[in-house]
Structure 1
C-alpha cells in the first residue's frame, strides 16, 4: 500500500535524512512530500540537494520551497548576499558549494526553480513550508513570500482555545479551508516538544534538525512518526545553526 510521507526541515543534515529514509523503508510506491529548508545548517547542504535530485528519479517527490532554499537560490543565481541569511546558516551553504562544478550548480538552480510554494492533495490537505495569510486560501495570497516566511498560521493555532470546534463562529477562517495542514519552518522545540505536534488541524513537522533536534517524518494518513538521531550527534565536529 502506498504511503504519503511528510518530511520536515533538513538543513543540510544529509546523514540524518539517509538514516530517516532507511527507518521508513521507503519504496517507489511512496509519495514523499518535503516541507522545505533543505539547506543552511550542517555541512551537507549542497549534498542534500544532489541526493534529493537523485531520489526524485526513483520516487514520487514533492519539493516545497523554504525560506532558506529561497535565500540560497538567490545567492546561487544572482550572487545576492543577505546579511541575516549569513548569520542564520547561509555561510554553511556557501562553504558547501565551494567545490561544486558550474554544471552541478546549474542543475541545483533548476531544482530550486522547480520547487512548489504549496501543494494540495486529493484529500484537501495542504502542505506548505510556513503558512499563508489570506482567509480565502493560498491561491489568493498577495505575496508569495508568506508561503515560506509566515509564522502567523502556526502562532494562531498555538493560541487557540483547545475546546473550540471547527463549526464555531469564532473558529479561524484560514483553518476551515483545508481538512489538514502540514508545515515546517518553526521548530516545535520552541514549545519544548521533540516530535511532530498537532494544534487545531495543523501538523508541524519541524523538530529542530538545524539545532539540537531530530529530523522527522510523518505518514499523513496513519500519523505514524519516524525520527533520526539528534542531528548534531551525526555532525559532532560542527555547530549547525546553534
Structure 2
C-alpha cells in the first residue's frame, strides 16, 4: 500500500536526512510531505535544499511546506538587497553556500523558499509547520501563526477539526514525547514530529533526532544526528 510519510525540521542536517530516507525506502506511489525548516543551524542548508530538489524527480509524490526559517530567509534576503543590511542570516547557512552576505544567495534558492505553501489539507489530516491559531474563526487565516505559533493545544476546536489529525513540527520534543503523542493520536488528534534534529549535544536528553511519521501505518522512524560538525 502506498504510504504518506511526514518529516519536519531538518535544519541543515543533510547526512542525517539521507540516512533517514534510506530507512524509509520510499517507493513509487508513496507521498513524502516535508513540514518546513530545511535550513539554518545545521551545517548543510544548501545540501538539504539540493537534496529536496533531487527528490522532486523521484517516482514518489512530494509536498514541500514552508517553515519559519524559510520565511526568515525571505525577509532577511530582501532586507539585505533592498536596505543594504550586511549582517543578516544564519552563519551556518551562509557557510554552506560559501557566501559572506545573504544578498549573494543564488536566486533559485530564494525562489525555492518563496514559493512554498503554508499548509496542506487532505482527507484525514492537516499538515503545517507550527500549528493552527484557533482564536481565529478560520484557523488558516494567519500565515504568520501557521509557521510561528506555539502553546496552542489548549485552544483546539475539535468541532472544527472533526476527525482530522494535525501533523506539525517547529517545537522540539524528545523521542519519548513523540512516541507518547502517537499512542494518544486517536484521542487528541495531534502529533508534533520535531525531534530537534540539530540538537546533537542533547542526544542524552532524547533530542538530536530526525523523525519521520508513516501516517498510513501509524509508525515512527528516528535517525540520530550524524553530522560531522554541530554547534548545538
TM interval, short-chain normalised: 0.7 to 0.9
Q: What corresponds to 1:55 in structure 2?
A: 55
Equivalents in 2 of 1:225, 1:82: separation in Å? 41
User: Do residues 235 (structure 1) and 220 (structure 2) align?
Assistant: no
Instruction: Sort the Cα spacing of 1:79 and 1:175 in 2 relative to 1 into closer, same or farther, 3 A.
Output: farther
Correspondence 1:1-242 to 2 at 5 A = 1-58=1-58, 59-79=60-80, 90-98=90-98, 105-121=106-122, 123-134=123-134, 135-139=136-140, 141=141, 143-154=142-153, 156=154, 172-173=156-157, 176-178=160-162, 179-189=164-174, 193=177, 195=179, 197-198=181-182, 200-212=188-200, 213-228=208-223, 230-231=224-225, 234-239=226-231, 242=232
Instruction: Sort the Cα spacing of 1:192 and 1:14 in 2 relative to 1 into closer, same or farther, 3 A.
Output: same
Q: Deviations over 1:181-234 (max 9, x none)?
A: 000000113x96365734621111001102131111011122111111x21xx2
Structure 1 unaligned residues grouped into runs of 5+: 158-171
Instruction: Sort the Cα spacing of 1:227 and 1:111 in 2 relative to 1 into closer, same or farther, 3 A.
Output: same
CA contact (8 A) 1:175 1:201 kept: no
TM-score (norm 2): 0.81
Instruction: Sort the Cα spacing of 1:175 and 1:98 in 2 relative to 1 into closer, same or farther, 3 A.
Output: farther
In the TM superposition, residue 13 of structure 1 has moved relative to its aligned partner by 0.5
Q: Higher mean Cα deviation, 73-82 or 60-69?
A: 73-82
- Aligned to 1:145, the other structure's residue is in SS state helix
Equivalents in 2 of 1:131, 1:175: separation in Å? 17
Equivalents in 1 of 2:86, 2:146: separation in Å? 19
- Aligned to 1:42, the other structure's residue is in SS state coil
Q: What corresponds to 1:164 in structure 2?
A: none
Equivalents in 2 of 1:174, 1:40: separation in Å? 34
Flag as ranges the 4+ runs of structure 1 deviating above 6 A: 80-83
Q: Deviations over 1:145-183 (max 9, x none)?
A: 1010001324x28xxxxxxxxxxxxxx416742510000
Q: Higher mean Cα deviation, 9-18 or 91-100?
A: 91-100
Q: Higher mean Cα deviation, 106-115 or 1-10?
A: 106-115
Equivalents in 2 of 1:207, 1:2: separation in Å? 25
Equivalents in 2 of 1:148, 1:180: separation in Å? 17
Q: Deviations over 1:79-132 (max 9, x none)?
A: 27698x85xxx22112212269x99822212211221101001x1410000012
In the TM superposition, residue 66 of structure 1 has moved relative to its aligned partner by 0.7
TM-score (norm 1): 0.77
Equivalents in 1 of 2:125, 2:176: separation in Å? 26
